[in-house]
Amino acid sequence: MITAILTIILVSVLVLLLVILFYSPGKPEPFLDKNGKAIASSISEKTYVSIGGIRQGMIIRSKNINNPVLLYVHGGPAFPNYFLIEKYKPGLEELFTVCYWEQRGGGLSYSPDIPIETMTFEQLTSDAIEVTNYLRQRFGKEKIYLMAHSGGTPFAIQAVAKAPQLYNAYIGMAQITRQADSERIAFKYMEERYTASGNSKALNELKKYALLDTDSSFAPFFKSAFRDKAMHELGIGTMRNMKSVFTGVFIPAWTCKAYTLKEKINIWVSKFKFINKARFIDELFVIDIPAMVAKLDIPIYFLSGKYDLTVNVDLSKAYYEKLQAPVKGFYTFENSAHSPLFEESQRVKEIFLSDILKGKTNLADK
């Protein structure tokens, strides 16, 4: 009996491994014409560049390399989400030559040799500017666009503030302001929801992370698996309709064809290594972006989901209203939580076409 069970387990593991290997060729999808041949003007590659003295990886894709260049700065930090780009295909590559840069310590840019003391927002800001200059030189552009998501926004907006001459516009999706305040609001919301539903089990789990007045009390809650689970159960996490981290994040990461098996392992190794040790996690709860960046000299656009409590939408809106910029627009997505790019991708494209690429705000909230 025991032998039979062990055999079933072994066979299941082997089948699972074979499936993962099948989904791990390690190459981003090419852009093909109607005859199945690569479009001559397109690009779809994985490449590595020395940035800040560290070998860092990026995926660059475009249907037409003559299009404007967009640097996409993922969140986390140190947890790239290209696997969601591949799954939902929001179509930015139809408008831009997009660089999906994977930040030092994360995914393609993971190495056990990266000094932990360099995992700071200051260093990531410097890296972002260096990646920008690489893209400008490679594609012959005086300026590029920069779009950042969630955990990428604290340093991406600082990069724009430090070197505005390099950018056409800044797009912040789920723009972080004061994350300690955001966590406090999310915690209270969870407490109220679980109390109203009579979910004593979740309430007891939540109480283990009772938030104090000191900023340091937020880190254990932020790092906890409970927070992720609760965010998604309550529709305030990665996506409004993504109720499970396992099916919504874990499986897409393992089945993304752009990564090799080793690279997929590195995605998860980097996530759990650096979220527990990197200095930027501690910095996240003391950083005050509105105080640090009160003015930008280029157009800015904020995209936020109505149901986003991962990075509180109201805090992002309050920052936007005070932030000075020559052109600015705030866009609330009525059917989204934390990731409008994946939840309402068609509207995001319309905003790029009608507003961002033209320096306008016609579709912005009134």
How high is the pLDDT of residue 208?
A: 86
Lowest mean pLDDT among 54-68, 152-166, 276-290: 276-290
Lowest mean pLDDT among 127-136, 153-162, 270-279, 351-360: 270-279
How far is CA 315 from each of CA 62, 130, 269, 289, rounded to the nearest angstrom? Answer: 34, 30, 31, 11
- Whole-model pTM: value is 0.93
The mean pLDDT value for 334-338 works out to 97
How high is the pLDDT of residue 341?
A: 97
- What CATH number belongs to 1-366? 3.40.50.1820
* 283: confidence class by pLDDT, cuts 50, 70, 90: confident
Mean pLDDT of the chain: 90
How high is the pLDDT of residue 20?
A: 73
Strand 69-73 with 144-149, pairing: parallel
Burial class (CB in 10 A: 0-12, 13-18, 19+), 321: exposed
The pLDDT tens digits of the residues spanning 7-66 come to: 556 555 555 565 576 567 788 999 998 888 999 999 999 999 999 999 999 999 999 999
| pLDDT higher than threshold 70 for residue 116 | yes
Task: Return the percentage of the chain with pLDDT > 90, whole number.
Answer: 73
| pLDDT higher than threshold 70 for residue 190 | yes
> How many residues are recorded in the chain?
366
Domain residues of the chain, as ranges?
A: 1-366
Strand 144-149 with 300-305, pairing: unpaired
Range among 4-8, 207-211, 292-296 rated most confident: 292-296
How high is the pLDDT of residue 218?
A: 75
The pLDDT tens digits of the residues spanning 242-263 come to: 998 889 998 999 999 999 999 9
| pLDDT higher than threshold 70 for residue 240 | yes
| pLDDT higher than threshold 90 for residue 350 | yes
Lowest mean pLDDT among 54-58, 80-84, 224-228, 349-353: 224-228
How high is the pLDDT of residue 252?
A: 92
Sequence-ordered alpha helix ranges (H) in 114-215: 121-139, 153-162, 179-197, 200-207
* 282: confidence class by pLDDT, cuts 50, 70, 90: confident
Cα separation, 150 vs 154, in Å, equals 8
CB 60 within 8 A of CB 70: no
